[in-house]
């Protein structure tokens, strides 16, 4: 599936730090397709990683438990 990432409403992760290293995701796309688009906010026109909702939940769990 191809998604036009410019048409998505992106949100920054609350786990992103203030130095510009931010991960963004598009929650409305998840609600309609069940897949989670994830991208690097510094590269808005770059690649988008599409993961299942379960895989994304695993990433969030890992981020919450990591000593960052």
Q: What is the pLDDT of residues 22-60, one digit of tens each?
A: 888 898 898 889 999 999 888 888 899 999 999 999 988
Domain that holds residue 58: 5-65
pLDDT at 10 exceeding the cut of 80:
yes
Task: Indicate the number of domains in the chain.
Answer: 1
**Rounded Cα gap, residues 65 and 57, in angstroms:** 12
Nearest CA among 2, 54, 52, 47 for reference residue 24? 47
3-state secondary structure of 11: strand
pLDDT of residue 49: 93
Which residues, including other chains, have CB under 8 Å from residue 5's CB and lie 6 or more apart?
A: 26, 37, 39, 44, 45, 48
**pLDDT band, very low/low/confident/very high, at 2 (cuts 50, 70, 90):** very low
């Amino acid at each position: 599936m191809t998604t036009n990432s410019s048409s998505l409403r992106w949100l920054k992760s609350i786990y992103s730090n203030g130095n510009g290293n931010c991960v963004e995701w598009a929650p409305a796309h998840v609600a309609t397709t069940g897949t989670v688009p994830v991208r690097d906010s510094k590269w808005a026109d770059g690649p988008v990683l599409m993961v299942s909702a379960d895989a994304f939940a695993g990433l969030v769990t890992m981020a919450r438990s990591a000593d960052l």
